Structure 1
Amino acid sequence: MSTTPPESPAPGVLGVAVPTPLRRLFDYRPCQPAPSRGWQPGLRVRVPLGKREVVGVVVECRDTSDFPLDQLKPVVAWLDSEPLPEDWLWLCRFTARYYQHSLGDTLHQAMPVLLRQGRPLEARIRERWQLTASGRDIDLARLGRARRQVELLELLRQHPRGVVSSVIGAQGFTRAQLRALADKGLIDCHEEPLTAAPAPSHGGLLAEPSLSLNREQATALAEMHEGLDRYHPCLLHGVTGSGKTEVYLQLIEAVVARNRQALVLVPEIGLTPQTLARFRRRFRVSVVALHSGLSDAERLDAWEAARAGRAPIVIGTRSALFTPLARPGAIIVDEEHDGSFKQQDSLRYHARDLAIARAHRHGIPIVLGSATPSLESLLQARAGNYRHLRLTRRPSHHAPARLELTDLRGRPRQGGMIPPTIDAIRQALAAGNQVLVFINRRGFAPTLACHACGWLAECDHCDARLTLHRQPPQLTCHHCERQRGLPDACPECGSADLRPLGTGTERSEETLAALFPEVPVHRIDRDSTRRKDALENTLAEIRRGEPCLLVGTQMIAKGHHLPHVALVVVVNADAGLYASDFRALEHSAQLLVQVAGRAGRAERPGRVLVQTLHPDDPHLRLLAESGYDALAETLLEERRLAALPPYRFMALLRLESPREADATALAGEAAGQLRQWLGERALAVDCLGPVPAPMERRQNRYHVQLMLSAAKRGPLHEACAWLTAWLERAPGARRARWALDVDPQTLS
């Protein structure tokens, strides 16, 4: 005789994570009726919080509370009959713990916006109309004078898998015509999720054949295949244009063929459309995207399709890391060195590092791809923790272009460029090539100055100069986004002799348009690509291959395939090389190599001119003569001697307040209390500071920093946990904002 197991008793208390900065759960009483499958962690609930209602997530189900049960407020309503995925909950808990962040706020940010607002976690539905057996066999002449019904049947006969209602409506057919054919038994309708995964046809998984691999690519792919059933971290270290994406595609083919899912992270939203298009051309299965350019409904559709397993391939920017997968098979992080993978405010996570933790949890391979790997990844590969796979050849058989250092000292400039550079541009255009002029500074000029008294246009709210823009004409602070009209005269001395200092993308564009009036000039920066599809439309025009000039910031330097660019000009290589941040040289070198990699990617050899005021700088010379790998080895040794990351682990406490004294006082008290606590426990953690931030005043708030450093993660995180708990209780913390940045990528 079979017996059913007794139901577990309903819990008396639900520990709910709600979207607040407080690092604790809030206790509530369960509401009635209970969800059909009972109360369990992962259910979304609507709960009262102060005078409002918020959406939280049940994290604990228990029978006790630190408060009397009759004083607990009840849950208003439960929103899900099934919990959110367990692996997603684990990832959020790990993230909150590692980055010392509120679990409620972590869960909130990891969800699509509509789930935060209480929308049901279910797929949007669409109708698909198909011919019945009678509809396929009927003689269309039997429909008589119903001409539009005949045309509708002919449309459906051209599409054996059916046609969705929106497409039918776009062809001018009406619901009445659909219903008339359905009543005759000639067509029928079935509902499917909006992001339904198309079943591979008899042609198989691929819509277009894979490309042939060279020996290096084939060796790298074979090494990845060996680790398909286990945690297998690989650093795919390939020069720009060496075919890393083709290796990704063939790895994903193997993953999807095993009925698994692949998650691909790219650093910039601008790279997502081209990556998405290439993947959709290759595969017949559903490929979904997750990035900030989608509507809330589109983002939820993609998130739900991945959770349900209908989307075998998921592509997105850093936030896509939090996409749940029904059958995880592999994770790929393209351009793993890129700073865009680090969230710089609120929940300050690093998507690459969390992707590694997630792959380890699932026991699946992870591929970190880059032409200029981060020093952290290179050190892990050197230690044998990552498999180091190298791609040194381009399919074009041209070696990557070397950097040619051009001395700016004492030479006249037009739009930031000296005469030999302008001559090189003229020659490249005359040969029918395209030219990329790289200047990592938006606007017309970095600032406006009075030639009579030396006055500089500065922001009233930041320790920064205002950038001069011509389109539209105004002064803008790129730190707080405040704008000001152009003055008619100097506010200090009244002189009308106001001149722009330095060069930005607008000024270079204007100069090049005047020098080469017969050649189109395309500017690509954040200002020129604000409109939807503006970047894609510009890139499509560039890829037609006609001679043109591209003027751009780092938006154009990352990952874009520009086969007709034969010359790259770096207007000023010094801008980021000599910043106060110890990572500045690493990041600048990566950017220089990445932008240089846009040249010579097809049949034409490339050339890269790097203008600099410091052509004899030993680091810059090493980069130009021996490449990024040699420079990275030098930087690793310097970091080791200086006891800096990646040889030590770091956390940065950032404090800010409208009153300088409040931020400084809280930072000083926190430093004193922390040093005393560290001394009592003999923890090997260094506490440095407090010191003013590199930009002390920003948005009319004063910024102070305290740095923690340790040789091992454990003691550092123990100290961080104590410090955050102390700050939550400190009276002075009410007069200043604070945030702890674990593994900071910049000190600014």
Structure 2
Amino acid sequence: MTTLAQYGLLRVVLPVPLRREFDYLCPLPLPARGCRVRVPFGNRTLVALVLDHPTASEVPPDKLKPLDSVLDEEPVLADADLRLLAWATGYYLHAPGEVYFQALPTLLRKGETAGYRSMDYWHLLEPDARVSAQAVKQQQALTLLRQGPLTSGELDARGIGSPILQALARKGVIEKREQLPARDDWRPALAINQDDKPRLGREQALAVSLLHQAEGFVPFLLEGITGSGKTEVYLQAMEPVLAAGRQVLVLVPEIGLTPQTIARFQRRFRAPVSTLHSGMSERERLDTWLACRDGGTAILIGTRSALLTPFRQLGLIIIDEEHDTSFKQQDGFRYHARDLALLRARQLDIPILLGSATPSFESLHNAATGKYRHLILSQRPGTATVARHLLLDSKHVQLQAGLSPQLLQLMEQELAQGNQVMLFLNRRGYAPALLCHDCGWLADCERCDAHYTWHRQQSRLHCHHCDHQRPLPPRCPQCGSQQLMGTGLGTEQVEQALAGLFPQYASIRIDRDNTRRKGSFQQHLDGIRAGRYQILIGTQMLAKGHHFPDVTLVAMLDVDGALFASDFRATERFAQLYIQVAGRAGRASKPGRVVLQSHHPEHALLQDLANQGYRHFAQGALRERQAAALPPFSFQALFRVQATRAQYCQEFLQQLAGQLAPGLSPGVLCLGPMSAQMERKAGQYRYQLLLQAASRRELAGACRQALALIETLASARKVRWSLDIDPVELW
């Protein structure tokens, strides 16, 4: 029998959905905290992460199992990373193993060696090589490769796909070679392209000056109208950090925004710029992760999960579009990257910069109470002016595919002057529902409480909630009529109508349906900037962060649904979207106009946004939130439950609420159980229970009570449940 004299104890976390840590025996000497080991778990062998070396265990010695093997000689995660993950585990009350393993690339979770492997890199054979002026992408590829070899994945992240590279290889201009990733120290070679730096405006210069003076942990909120030069402030804020040999982490909400961002950062700094996002291969993600940890990367630009990447010496965190809800993980470990980034900056004692044209109410509240330093950019640089806003009343007018006569006239004026027009509609497909004109039958999804969306080009019905698809029926299944028609408006329908209304102008539709092919989204954007399209039709993916200098008219076609939504955050999200869309107009020297069509142009929200702007709207909305004791003036936690029968959800939550309520402190509200707005989705019934408190401490205590109760409820075995701390949306 093994004894503790022969073995030491390891406390580890495992990638399992259990809210506990595990003890194992290990031969001496013990692996350090942050190393990976293999351990037996049931009838499996799992990779585990070492957290501690306890002197005693609650498990009897004869019940303790020895580990299988040690995977690392050196820790894969440093103490600072482990402290951040420990805090996140306690705050979000999630299974510790799932939290800690979120910080490891997939290959390390599988037990792969934490080391570099040789990969294929594209090399430029002729530094002075030239290609046709029409081959814009090939020219971009050559420009990038003049700065050094890059992998196919790195080039793809910059908008250069495999066909472009193969074409250059056939010309003998570039070739692929297998080599280890470069790990040279970038600090001695760091240089800043001074020719690329524009002259700063007064507000920009003040913001940069304050950022340069920051020492230690200082959170900044940079509120800048669209086109005001926030990215330039980011770039100049990074200069002293990089000059001191420290690294910078830049979080962005969308993968699609990274190519143009990367190109701009690379023009400015002669230093390694890496990306980290879900579109990369597992090997590329691991190599980037290692380069950040070992100090080989100067700047990392990534989406939400990049926050948990280890760095050798992180000196600054920047979060672009900090209000964006994509920074909140909506399944599994439900963390908010912005909030966790603030904690990471505090622990490392470094500045953090949150930027947005439409800051979240939480950030505005923190700035108003002095927790953040508030920097404001209210002017566009150069000759660019802020777009004028126009509200159009859709009542009592004949609409053509959602377009009013007034809007069509404005479009004609702008197009005739050689400008571009952007139409925004956040509903893809031809129509959001299919209706029988004779009997009123509606094509409903069998698995959701929702209608199918009619996609006319594909001749299919598609549920955008559960992704179920079916062919378009030739006739009504209820009465046999062939008089099937779409009801409502989608981007396909607008595109078709515009082809008839403006046949002399080329139009392009950008939504998830026609950007699925790899590289197609970037190709569409390149076509827009090259002037090949005059009319742009798109969903939300077209509204964020893109600079189209010739767009002088932007119109939102149908926003009335957002004015009367049940979620208290709906108006905040609509206002942010409205300002983002409006920001696409008049970004260069041409003046811009923003048109909003509504059946309720007199609505206070629309009037406030059009006439007073986002900040005025936000101040009024925050006063309303305070009067109603809603976040950010209170804190929430949401228990979500789903099951194949509504009865199971109701029974579980009623038992939980019934046993929890008597033990809650007076400052905690327990609201529910209540069904989701869409009760049934993908064949699952969905219910929720909301806890709200005036203090985080009280809310955390109530959640811990609830978690302890759930362990005792037999009804919990019939449902799938999750806990979401600081939810950004209700079901």
Deviation at 1:397, TM superposition (A): 3.4
Task: Provide the alpha-carbon RMSD of the alignment.
Answer: 2.6
Deviations 1:377-421 (A, max 9, x none): 111111111111110111143432133111111222222111211
**1:742 is the counterpart of 2:725:** yes
Deviation at 1:109, TM superposition (A): 2.2
Q: 1:92/1:9 Cα in 2 relative to 1: closer, same or farther (>3 Å)?
A: farther
**TM-score, structure 1 normalization:** 0.88
Counterpart position of 2:106: 113
Indicate how the Cα distance of structure 1 residues 11 and 574 shifts in structure 2: closer, same or farther if over 3 A, else same: farther
Match of 1:702 among 682, 685, 695: 685
- Contact 1:10/1:39 (<8 A) preserved: no
Residue 633 (structure 1) aligned to one of 600, 612, 619: 619
Q: Please give the alpha-carbon distance, in whole angstroms, between the structure 1 residues aligned to 2:151 and 2:620.
A: 61
8 Å CA contact retained: 1:126, 1:164 = no
2:16 aligned partner, one-letter code: T
- Separation (CA, whole Å) in 2 of partners of 1:576 and 1:330: 37
Residue in structure 1 matched with residue 293 of structure 2 by the alignment: 307
| Cα deviations by residue, 1:345-373 (Å, 9 ceiling, x for unpaired) | 11111111111111111111111101111
Alignment of 1:331 onto 2:317: yes
- Does the CA contact (< 8 Å) of 2:196 and 2:267 recur in 1? no
Question: Which of 392, 402, 408 is 1:422 aligned to?
Answer: 408
Q: Per-residue displacement from partner, 1:32-63 (whole Å, max 9, x unpaired)?
A: 575xxx42221111222222222121112123
C-alpha contact 2:507 2:535 (8 A) present in aligned 1: yes
Task: Give the alignment partner of residue 302 of structure 2, picking from 302, 316, 333.
Answer: 316
User: Does the Cα contact within 8 Å between 2:220 and 2:352 map onto a contact in 1?
Assistant: yes
Measure, in 2, the Cα distance between the counterparts of 1:632 and 1:213.
Answer: 28
Find out whether 1:711 has 2:721 as its counterpart: no
SS in 1 for 2:561: coil
Distance 1:430 1:191, change over 3 A: closer
2:7–2:28 CA contact under 8 A, matched in 1: no
Determine if the alignment matches structure 1 residue 217 to structure 2 residue 204: yes
Do residues 450 (structure 1) and 436 (structure 2) align? yes
Q: What do residues 505-531 of structure 1 show as CA deviations (whole Å, max 9, x unaligned)?
A: 111111112222232222111121111
| Separation in 2, partners of 1:206, 1:77 | 50
| Structure 1 residue 526 corresponds to structure 2 residue 519 | no
Q: What SS does structure 2 have at the residue aligned with 1:289?
A: strand
Per the alignment, residue 25 of structure 2 pairs with: 29
Q: Cα deviations across residues 684-714 of structure 1 (Å, max 9, x unaligned)?
A: 2111111111111111111111111111111
State the distance in 2 between where 1:120 and 1:532 align. Answer: 30
Listed as ranges, the matches of 1:452-531 within 5 Å are: 452-531=438-517
In 2, the alpha carbon distance for the partners of 1:258 and 1:274 equals 26
Cα offsets for 1:325-347 (capped at 9, x unmatched)? 11111101111111111111111
Deviation at 1:24, TM superposition (A): 0.2
Find out whether 1:15 has 2:11 as its counterpart.
yes
TM-score normalized with structure 2 length: 0.90
Bigger radius of gyration: 1
Structure 2 CA distance, aligned partners of 1:545 and 1:353? Answer: 40
Alignment-derived partner of residue 176 in structure 1: none
Contact 1:439 1:504 in 2 (8 A): yes
TM-superposed deviation, 1:729: 3.4
2:423 partner letter: V
Checking the alignment, whether the CA contact within 8 Å between 1:444 and 1:467 is kept in structure 2 is yes
> Higher mean Cα deviation, 55-64 or 633-642?
55-64
Quote the residue 1:67 is aligned against.
59
How does 1:137-176 map onto structure 2 within 5 Å? none
CA contact (8 A) 1:404 1:609 kept: yes
Among candidates 107, 116, 121, match of residue 123 of structure 1: 116
Gapped runs of 5+ residues in structure 2?
124-144, 153-164
Q: In structure 2, do the counterparts of structure 1 residues 390 and 451 end up closer, same or farther at CA, with 3 Å as the change threshold? A: same
Cα pair 1:457 1:465 within 8 Å, conserved: yes
Q: 1:608 to 1:125 in 2, by over 3 A?
A: same
Which sections of structure 1, spanning at least 5 residues, go unmatched? 1-7, 131-158, 174-188
Question: CA–CA distance in 2 between the matches of 1:290 and 1:375?
Answer: 28
For the 8 Å contact 2:402–2:489, the answer to whether it is kept is: yes
2:564 maps to which of 568, 578, 581:
578
Shift of 1:190: 12
CA distance in structure 1 between the aligned counterparts of 2:377 and 2:707, rounded to whole angstroms: 44
Pair 1:56-2:42 in alignment: no
Contact 1:433 1:546 in 2 (8 A): no
User: Matches of 1:475 and 1:160 in 2, distance apart?
Assistant: 48
1:98 aligns to 2:88 (yes or no): no
SS at match of 1:500: strand
1:447-483 per-residue CA deviation (whole Å, 9 max, x = no partner) reads 1011112111111111111111123221111111011
Q: How does 1:3-402 map to 2 (within 5 A)?
A: 12-30=8-26, 32=27, 34=29, 38-83=30-75, 84-125=77-118, 193-194=181-182, 196=184, 198=186, 201=189, 204-206=191-193, 208-227=195-214, 229-402=215-388
Q: Deviations over 1:119-158 (max 9, x none)?
A: 111123469999xxxxxxxxxxxxxxxxxxxxxxxxxxxx
Secondary structure in 1 aligned to 2:97?
helix
Equivalent position of 2:652 in the other structure: 666
SS in 1 for 2:205: helix
SS in 2 for 1:575: helix
Question: C-alpha distance in 2, partners of 1:568/1:481?
Answer: 30
Change (3 A) 1:539 1:346: same
